[in-house]
């Protein structure tokens, strides 16, 4: 079997925020002298048009507008952006269009405008409902604004919405963490991203690390939080993602299933299958807004073919984040590699009870999910 073209998604990066959070290592820049909204949208659409050869006849399966804080752009700007995308590529009938937003920028009229522009799903960065934690995390919203944003999202004609929530915060107790989670559940979001705070290099927290909960407490938070989510009708489908039936994020599923995605905007990453070369290509766009909007240079900063030696790790690094079974045939269809090339690593993973396998599927176990890094190291 040869390498096949998988579903195609589109990621759009908007790099500006009201202020930079101390834990954030994403490519984002605090707004200082206004946002060049119209100029940047023009560059995004030019960037997309230069990537069209990589579409290879496919429809766009999902779109994710991330950042930064995309909701610093006006509804009219998002409408212009999505209209430009539709004029360049064909969107699937059921195309999911997600947009990140902060509760501090969540206003009813403004967000109704985003929905009118075509957005079908919001991802709202709540992080915590406790003011002490919000202040420590550098968030610009308060607890009431977070609740109000979720209530507004529930009233809009959206297909779905997500709340982003963190745990393992500075000085956080088990009671605090579960109270945050209970408050999020009470707002009844169809999707909850619940993830542990980690200290990333080149962030303010890396320079001045806060005191985080000990590993034993972190494990207790994860275990009790997981049971609380299950008891309230949420199913875990990915390492840090829970959803009610039918509300898994289609864009993220395409990432984890080793699908293809174009990445446009400052520092955006892409992954495309080249049917003619039977190869997988990784792309990165120019990172800084000033350089990205400099017409004297291309948007594409780097591109490289993924080597055959790297493909097993890249495939399983994505696929084993998902708790659903992975069809054995997907390995060859998405990478071109024969199953025999990874059979020794899979046998070892099975022996260590990190995965279950039969003739048709591989599936990460609860132990494998807990020790995911150990599982993935077998494929390096």
- Examine residue 249 and state whether it is found in any structural domain, yes or no: yes
Q: Is residue 312 located within the same domain as residue 249?
A: no
In a domain, 33, yes or no: yes
Domain-embedded: residue 221: yes
In a domain, 282, yes or no: no
Residues in the chain: 380
Same domain flag for 224 and 364: no
Residue 68: cis peptide before it, omega within 30 degrees of 0: yes
Last-in-domain residue among 232, 254, 276: 254
- Buried b / exposed e over 315-331, threshold 16 CB at 10 Å, is bbbbbbbbbeebebebb
Of 209, 239, 254, which residue sits at a domain end? Answer: 254
Give the mean model confidence (pLDDT) for residues 313-336: 96
Average pLDDT over residues 190-209: 84
Residues 34 and 177 in one domain: yes
57 and 147 together in one domain: yes
Alpha carbon distances (Å) from 81 to 45, 222, 295, 333 = 7, 39, 19, 33
List of residues 6+ apart from 228 with CB closer than 8 A: 178, 181, 182, 185
Look at 88-102, 122-136, 271-285 and tell me which has the smallest mean pLDDT: 122-136
**Do 245 and 315 sit in the same domain of this protein?**
no
Instruction: Write out the two tokens for 98.
Output: 């997600």
Q: State yes or no: pLDDT of 242 exceeds 60.
A: yes
Asked if pLDDT for residue 48 goes beyond 60, the answer is: yes
Last residue of a domain, one of 208, 226, 254: 254
For 380, how many CA atoms within 13 A lie in the half-sphere containing its CB? 5
One domain for residues 46 and 124? yes
Residue 213 lies in a domain: yes
Asked whether residue 32 carries a pLDDT value surpassing 60, the answer given is yes
Res 1: pLDDT: 47
Q: What pLDDT, on the 0 to 100 scale, is given for residue 30?
A: 75
DSSP 3-state assignment of 362? strand
Compute the distance between CA of residue 245 and CA of residue 350 in angstroms, rounded to an integer: 29
The verdict on 315 and 189 lying in the same domain is no
318: left (phi over 0), alpha (psi -120 to 50) or beta: alpha
Measured in degrees and rounded to the nearest 5, phi and psi for residue 145 equal: -65, -35
Q: Is residue 195 a part of any domain in this protein?
A: yes
Domain with 336 in it: 308-380
Cα angle: 322, vertex 323, 326; to 5 degrees = 75
**For the residues 113-125, what does the mean pLDDT come to?**
95
Whether residue 322 sits in one domain with residue 226: no
Query: For residue 133, what pLDDT band results from cuts at 50, 70 and 90?
Result: confident
Instruction: Tell me whether residue 150 is in a domain.
Output: yes
How many domains in the chain? 2
- 171 and 44 in a common domain: yes
pLDDT category, 275, cuts 50, 70, 90? confident
What whole-number percentage of the chain has pLDDT above 90? 75
Q: How many whole angstroms separate alpha carbon 377 and alpha carbon 50?
A: 36
Determine the Cα–Cα distance for residues 274 and 10; give it in Å rounded to an integer: 16
Lowest mean pLDDT among 50-54, 148-152, 278-282, 344-348: 148-152
Determine phi and psi for 155, rounding to 5 degrees: -85, -20
pLDDT tens, residue by residue, 82-107: 999 999 999 999 999 999 998 876 67
Please tell me the distance from the alpha carbon of residue 137 to that of residue 134, in angstroms, as a whole number. 5
Predicted local distance difference test score (pLDDT) of residue 178: 97
The answer as to whether 283 is a domain residue is: no
Higher pLDDT, 199 or 179: 179
- Neighbouring residues of 206: CB distance < 8 A, sequence distance ≥ 6: 199, 200
Confidence class for position 23, pLDDT limits 50, 70, 90: low
Three-state secondary structure readout of 71-137: HHCCHHHHHHHHHHHHHHCCEEEEEEEEEEECHHHCCHHHHHHHHHHCCCEEEEEEECCCHHHHHHC
User: Which has the higher per-residue pLDDT, 63 or 151?
Assistant: 63
Query: The CATH number of the domain where 348 resides is what?
Result: 1.10.10.920
Average pLDDT over residues 132-155: 83
pLDDT at site 213: 86
Please tell me whether residues 325 and 236 are part of one structural domain.
Answer: no
Nearest one of 172, 262, 154 to 224, comparing CA atoms: 172
Q: Which residue has the higher pLDDT, 134 or 3?
A: 3
Q: Grade residue 145 by pLDDT with cuts at 50, 70 and 90.
A: confident
**Helices (DSSP H) in 283-371: which residue ranges?**
289-292, 311-319, 329-335, 343-351, 366-370
Q: Pick from 168, 120, 173, 126: which is nearest to 149 by CA?
A: 126
Residues 321 and 245 in one domain: no
Mean pLDDT (the chain) is 92
Q: What is the CATH number of the domain that holds 125?
A: 3.80.30.20
Q: What does the block give as tokens for 194?
A: 């619940």
pLDDT at 9 over 90: yes
Q: Which whole number is the average pLDDT over 116-137?
A: 89
Please give the backbone phi and psi of residue 36, each rounded to the nearest 5 degrees, phi first.
Answer: -80, 65
The pairing of strands 241-243 and 235-238 is: antiparallel
**307 contacts: CB under 8 Å, gap ≥ 6:** none
Whole-structure pTM value: 0.94
The pLDDT confidence band at residue 24, using thresholds 50, 70 and 90, is: low
pLDDT at 373: 94
Clarify whether residues 244 and 376 are in a common domain.
Answer: no
Mean pLDDT of 366-370: 93
Q: Per-residue pLDDT tens for 289-313?
A: 999 999 888 999 999 999 999 999 9
């Amino acid at each position: 079997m040869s390498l096949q073209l998988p579903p195609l998604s589109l990621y759009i990066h908007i790099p500006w925020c009201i202020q930079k959070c101390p834990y954030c290592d994403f490519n984002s820049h605090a707004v200082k002298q206004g946002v060049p909204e119209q100029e940047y949208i023009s560059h995004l659409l030019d960037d997309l048009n230069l990537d069209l050869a990589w579409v290879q006849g496919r429809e766009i399966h999902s779109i994710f507008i991330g950042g930064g804080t995309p909701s610093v752009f006006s509804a009219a700007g998002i409408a212009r952006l999505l209209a430009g995308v539709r004029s360049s590529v064909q969107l699937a009938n059921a195309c999911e269009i997600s947009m990140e937003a902060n509760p501090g920028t969540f206003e009813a009229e403004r967000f109704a405008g985003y929905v009118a522009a075509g957005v079908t799903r919001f991802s709202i960065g709540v992080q915590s409902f406790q003011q002490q934690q919000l202040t420590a995390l550098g968030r610009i919203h308060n607890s009431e604004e977070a609740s109000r944003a979720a209530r507004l999202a529930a009233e809009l004609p959206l297909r779905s919405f997500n709340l982003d929530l963190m745990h393992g915060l500075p000085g956080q107790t088990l009671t605090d963490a579960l109270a945050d989670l209970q408050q999020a559940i009470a707002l009844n979001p169809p999707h909850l991203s619940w993830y542990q705070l980690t200290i990333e290099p080149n962030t303010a927290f890396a320079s001045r690390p806060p005191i985080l909960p000990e590993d034993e407490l972190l494990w207790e938070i994860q275990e009790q939080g997981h049971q609380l989510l299950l008891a309230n009708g949420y199913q875990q489908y990915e390492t840090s993602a829970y959803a009610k039936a039918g509300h898994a994020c289609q864009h993220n599923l395409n990432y984890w299933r080793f699908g293809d995605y174009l990445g446009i905007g400052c520092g955006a990453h892409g992954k495309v299958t080249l049917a003619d070369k039977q190869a997988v290509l990784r792309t990165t766009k120019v990172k800084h807004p000033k350089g990205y909007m400099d017409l004297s240079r291309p948007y594409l900063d780097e591109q490289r073919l993924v080597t055959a030696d790297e493909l097993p790790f890249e495939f399983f690094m994505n696929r084993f984040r998902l708790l659903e079974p992975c069809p054995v045939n997907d390995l060859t269809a998405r990478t071109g590699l024969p199953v025999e090339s990874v059979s020794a690593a899979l046998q070892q993973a099975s022996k260590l009870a990190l995965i279950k396998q039969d003739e048709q599927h591989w599936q990460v176990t609860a132990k494998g999910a807990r020790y995911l890094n150990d599982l993935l190291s077998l494929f390096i």
